[in-house]
Structure 1
Amino acid sequence: MFRARQRPAAIRRDRPHASSSRPIFSSARLAALLGAILLATTLLAAVSVRAEDTEMPRIRTNQAYIEELARPTTLAIDNPVAVFAAVFGQLPDRVKVYPTENYYYFTFLHAGAPYNGNIRLDASDRDQGKLHFAYSEDLADWREETDVIHVALDATNDVQVEKVERFLYRVTFRGKSVLFELNDLSGVKPPDGLLGPDEKFVGPIFDESGLRFFLVFNARLKLFHYILDETAPVPEQFVPAKSGRIVLGKRTGYGFFVDDRRPRKILVGVAFANSRVNNYFDGPFDQLPDNFIEGDAFRDMIVAVAPELKGKIDRFGGWGDGAQRFMIAPYYYYQRDSELAAFDRCASDKRIPEANHYACFVVDDDSQQNFSPIPRAIKELRGKGRKKG
């Protein structure tokens, strides 16, 4: 059975849960750090001293947060057009949209409550003059899910979206124009030797965590992997887990298997706590390489994994007028990093045929629902054992 997620990501998407899958909000991101809740960098107290080609770290102070919190604000928070006007009005003349599903994230404080949201130029309808805007109060472990407000804006709302270049769009609203520069990763390719003979490169991914990935499809095993892109500086420090070849990112909590066959790191784990609050570190499943998908090749890969979707999905893997999308999340949402040892054990299990080695780094919904990771290769091995019995 395949997993689906909402698209556009103005609605909360499926998150792992011990007993059921509940939708989570993936378009409006919780600011993971205290300073990230500031809407503009002008609100940050920063020290930046040039030293050769590097700079001193930029500090974020509690003072700035307190003073922003105390600042009286007026906003019709239940009116999405009014909120869009407030956000858009504070943008500079040109912005850079880093995530590859084209979300421009923001946060703000209003009346003592933290909010987060995004402006999105969706690859499926931006050339038709549409823009997606969504926001909500922040998610938190201790409270029920907050309501999401989403609206698709176009000329009927006095919003004009104009394509200037392939990766550059001009958005105009009430006399103000902002250029949205999408992330041009068209020249990013896996280096020689990174992919195996059965693997196909789908496209480059820039996650909102700041990490880059290569989305890869194994045509023989019919599975996807997210492989860390290390062709550019990686803004992360990795520490070894107690289990063999697993390393964990200090900042993101992402867990990787350091491949012993090829020079690469395969994403195998994302912290469940981050998924629950839907912050920047909830995994790259919602940053697919939409700007770089050409023709029907990606759709065909999805159909190979989920044949029941044949004739029902578009080239992005969406259906239902684009409201639903095939979810690619082969990694495991862990509660304790020790759980990721299952991938290392599978990779070193002598019973696993070499041809099935890379099925060691994929888990299914049952593993997630039970919070007990059983790699696909192990499940298939057990299945063969039962048949022989």
Structure 2
Amino acid sequence: MLAWILPSVVASAQSSDRPRLTTNQAQIEDWMRETTLAIDDPMAVFAFVLASLPGEVTVYPSEGYYYFGFSHGGVNYSGNIRLDASDRDAGALHFAYFEEMADWRGETPTRYRRLDATQGVAVERLARLVYRVTHRDKSVVFRLNDLSDVKPPEGAVAPHERLIGPMFDESGLRFFLVYNPRVKNFHYVLDETARVADAFTPVARRDRILIGKRTGFAFYRDHRRARKILIGVFDGNARVNNHLDGPFDQLPDSIIEGETLREALIEMDPTLAGEIDRFGGSPDGEFRYMIAPYLHYAFEDELHRFDRCATRRRGGAEAAYYRCFVTKRREDGAMPGPPREQGRKPGKGR
């Protein structure tokens, strides 16, 4: 996933509950600055990123990605430091950065390193979901997002469905990942137990379809349960792999219990047996199964089919009704990036 560049915040004595002002002036001046950085050297860039952080940071996304961005030589770069649930307790982290993608230029090369003590990077567990990262003379404490107490409202998950866990996407939206064995697929249910960091507008003449004004995420107001199911992500965001490309890469890794996710994935696709770990990843860490049962849409009328289907089937069998909200991936994979197995996403780098 990409981080994103925001113009610098204007410092002021304004009350903290007022909006933060950003300016194009600050952004332009950042682009025009003469900067020195060995951009082709991942260790030099990692040292720069770590040195630029405060002594303590909060990692909101639930797969442990801490996203960042910077400008150098007139180019915007994005990247992430990831404290992966699979190996952070073994003293490792994952570092990646790349020139920001755009529709007109497509995929850009990623520079990636798995870092541990052999590269002079110490990752120390201080407490549950709290880690100190040290390189050279700089230490930063990373506090991962603890969602263990987040529970869905009563009735939001059907008795036969399996709650995989709560999620926090880098878009700022929270979800509950739910497996529905009757359709052998997953639903991303919007978490409304806390303030939702978006505002929604209904689609004309299809008022059960709601689109986020900021995120472009499209939801359907379920006829049968008091919940909103994710049905679409704007295709332009998915193609440039930015922070609004969908929640597929922020699964609830820190609180997945035992084999819950792996069992659901194998039930959905038996060919995965023996091919994935309990997080849905390949043994070599190169791939992870992509759970993306939603549409990448370019125009809102593409979302109408969900309402037509759900309205027609709302009084019928439950399995037939909930199949309305599962979208099979397009033949081209519907996601940007280097060639990879259908239905999977990159592993450590992005």
TM (normalized to structure 2)? 0.91
**Counterparts in 2 of 1:123 and 1:350: CA distance versus 1, 3 Å:** closer
Structure 1 residue aligned with 2:134, among 154, 172, 184?
172
Cα distance in 1 for residues equivalent to 2:323 and 2:331 = 14
Give the CA deviation at 1:47. Answer: 4.2
Q: Residue 361 in 1 paired to residue 321 in 2?
A: no
Q: Deviations along 1:245-297, whole A, 9 cap, x unmatched?
A: 10100000000001121111100000000111111100000000000112112
Q: Which residue of 2 aligns with 1:49?
A: 14
**Distance verdict in 2 for CA 1:222–1:281, change over 3 Å:** same
Are positions 1:227 and 2:192 aligned together?
no
Q: Quickly say closer, same or farther: Cα 1:201–1:309, change in 2 above 3 A.
A: same
Asked if the contact 2:277/2:283 (under 8 Å) is kept, the reply is: no
Give the distance between the partners of 2:41 and 2:246, measured in 1 at CA: 30
Q: Residues 97 and 183 of structure 1 are in contact (CA less than 8 Å); yes or no, is this contact kept in structure 2?
A: yes
**Number of residue pairs aligned between Structure 1 and Structure 2:** 332
Match of 2:312, SS? coil
- By how many angstroms is 1:319 displaced? 1.1
Q: How does 1:178-189 map to 2 (within 5 A)?
A: 178-189=140-151
1:369–1:98: structure 2 CA closer, same or farther, 3 Å change rule?
A: closer
Q: CA deviation at 1:48?
A: 5.7
In the TM superposition, what whole-angstrom CA distance separates every residue of 1:213-253 from its partner, at most 9, and x where no partner exists?
Answer: 00001122211000000000001110001224101000000
Tell me the amino acid that sits aligned with residue 245 of structure 2. Answer: D
Instruction: Tell me the percent identity.
Output: 55
* SS of match in other structure, 1:63: helix
1:343 aligns with 2:306: yes
Q: Which residue type is aligned with residue 76 of structure 2?
A: P
In structure 2, the residue corresponding to 1:169 is in which secondary structure? strand
Determine the C-alpha separation between the residues in 1 that align with 2:331 and 2:218: 17
The two structures, once aligned, show a CA RMSD in angstroms of: 1.7
**Rounded Cα–Cα distance in structure 2 between residues aligned with 1:360 and 1:240:** 19
* TM-superposed deviation, 1:311: 1.9
> SS of the residue aligned with 2:274?
coil
Alignment of 1:94-109 (within 5 A): 94-109=56-71
Structure 1: how far apart are the matches of 2:313 and 2:126?
Answer: 56
Among 56, 81, 94, the residue aligned to 1:119: 81
Q: Cα distance 1:351–1:207, how it changes in 2: closer, same or farther (>3 A)?
A: closer
Structure 2 runs not aligned, ≥5 long: 335-350
Structure 1 letter corresponding to 2:116? D
CA contact (8 A) 1:244 1:341 kept: no
For residue 105 of structure 1, what is the amino acid of its counterpart? Y
Summarize deviations over 1:155-188 as a string: whole Å, max 9, x none.
0111000111111001111022110000001100
Q: Which amino acid aligns with 2:176?
A: F
Give yes or no for contact 1:47–1:59 (8 Å, CA) kept in 2: no
Q: Decide which of 133, 138, 146 is 2:95's aligned counterpart.
A: 133
Structure-1-length-normalised TM-score? 0.82
Match for residue 298 of structure 1?
Answer: 261
CA distance in 2 between counterparts of 1:118 and 1:219 reads 34
Q: Which residue of 1 aligns with 2:339?
A: none
Give distance in 2, aligned partners of 1:125 and 1:367: 33
Partner SS state of residue 216, structure 1 = strand
Q: Which moved more, 1:346-355 or 1:95-104?
A: 346-355
Q: What does 1:249-328 align with in structure 2 at a 5 Å threshold? A: 249-328=212-291
| Amino acid of the structure 2 residue aligned with 1:77 | I
Task: Give the whole-Å Cα distance in 2 for the aligned partners of 1:269 and 1:299.
Answer: 25
SS of the aligned residue for 1:348 comes to helix
What is the match of residue 72 of structure 1?
34
Query: Quick one: distance in 1 between partners of 2:163 and 2:175?
Result: 11
Q: Distance in 1 between matches of 2:121 and 2:160?
A: 46
Of 208, 230, 239, 1:245 maps to 208
Change (3 A) 1:165 1:267: same
SS in structure 2 of the partner of residue 365 of structure 1: coil
